[in-house]
A and B are shown apart, each in its own frame.
Chain A
Amino acid sequence: MMPERRRERRDQNQATIPPVTGDHATDHATLVFVGDESEWSAPAWCDYSASYGKPDFTRLDGADLQGADLRAARLPLADFRAAAARACSLAGAELTFSDFSRADLRAADLSNTCLCLADLTEADLRGADASGSDLMKATLRGADLRGARLMGACLDDADLEEAVFDETTELPFDFERARARGMTFRPAAGLRQ
């Protein structure tokens, strides 16, 4: 028999959960919070249950990171929007899903970093070294890549619309093959196409 207090708290928590419809509605109704919000209760029907958590992500938007040494840092989902990170070293860092939109990354060392699904919209990457980095599904819309080194980088499914290249940009692909691999791009400045 469930104690009265616990039942009340469960009802309160259930009241805050938005309604779920469809096949899983019944199961959802049995999967409820008991106690405080960090505590989960698995329903009686399950043969196996596991819970997972993740830490908070870092906010560095607008921070002055010029010349900073952040090599091998683990900053997934970090917010670097409009950060001044000129000549910053992020070599080997884990930056999946990070947001670098409008960040100043001129001459930054981004070599061998994981920038999967990162947002680099309108980032200034002039002279940056991103060689060997994983930029799969990254957004580089309007990014300035003049003089950037991208040799050995993975750009599968990356979005390079309106990105600025020139003859000093070291690219790891030829354009036709890149298109075939799902990349979308339309260089704003002239480049070997």
Chain B
Amino acid sequence: MELSHELQRRLRGLVDSAPSDASSVFCVRRTAGGYKGLLKIRSKELRIVAGGSAATLEQVVDQIDGEVAERLTEWRRLRFS
């Protein structure tokens, strides 16, 4: 099982917008209905756990993307205030 370059680029992009020294791990597994994925980002400043389950990997990444983006927006609001 491999992720497309586009999906890898999106996941890498999420970490790029996280705080400094952030690292992340993304795991995915096949389920009866499609895929279930989990992304964890951690840095000194915050920890984010986001997950999703959908019929396609793209939809799983979409769900995770939305959840992480929301958390990072909140972090940036505090970071730059």
Residue positions of A touching B, CB distance < 8 A: 17-18, 20, 23-24, 27-28, 31, 37-38, 40, 42-43, 45-57, 76-77, 96-97, 99, 101, 117, 119
Please name 10 further chain A to chain B contacts, defined as beta carbons within 8 Å, in addition to the given A38-B23, A43-B27, A47-B30, sorted by A numbering.
Answer: A18-B47, A24-B38, A27-B27, A28-B40, A31-B27, A48-B27, A51-B26, A52-B23, A53-B22, A54-B15
What is the bound-complex CA distance between A31 and B23, given in angstroms? 14
Determine if B40 and A52 form an interchain contact, defined as CB atoms under 8 angstroms apart.
no
B27 to A, closest residue via Cβ: A46
Determine if B49 and A57 form an interchain contact, defined as CB atoms under 8 angstroms apart.
no
- Main SS of chain A's interface residues? loop
Determine if B27 and A42 form an interchain contact, defined as CB atoms under 8 angstroms apart.
yes
Determine if B26 and A56 form an interchain contact, defined as CB atoms under 8 angstroms apart.
no
B51 to A, closest residue via Cβ: A24
Determine if A40 and B28 form an interchain contact, defined as CB atoms under 8 angstroms apart.
no
> B21 in the interface, Cβ–Cβ < 8 Å?
yes
Known: A20-B49, A24-B38. A49 touches B23 (CB 8 A): no
What is the bound-complex CA distance between A37 and B23, given in angstroms? 10
Residues on B with beta carbons closer than 8 Å to the beta carbon of A27 = 27, 36, 38, 51
Residue positions of B touching A, CB distance < 8 A: 1-3, 8, 11-12, 15-18, 20-30, 36, 38, 40, 42, 47, 49-51, 53, 76, 80
B18 to A, closest residue via Cβ: A54
Residues on B with beta carbons closer than 8 Å to the beta carbon of A31 = 25, 27, 38, 40
Determine if B80 and A46 form an interchain contact, defined as CB atoms under 8 angstroms apart.
no
A42 to chain B, nearest CB (A): 5
A36 to chain B, nearest CB (A): 12
**What are 20 A-to-B residue pairs whose CB atoms are below 8 Å?**
A23-B53, A28-B40, A31-B27, A31-B40, A42-B25, A43-B27, A45-B27, A46-B29, A48-B29, A49-B27, A50-B3, A51-B23, A52-B11, A52-B26, A53-B15, A53-B22, A53-B23, A56-B21, A57-B20, A96-B16
Determine if A28 and B76 form an interchain contact, defined as CB atoms under 8 angstroms apart.
no
Residues on A with beta carbons closer than 8 Å to the beta carbon of B12 = 52
Q: Please pick, from A20, A38, A43, A54, the residue contacting B20 in the complex, using a CB distance under 8 A.
A: A54
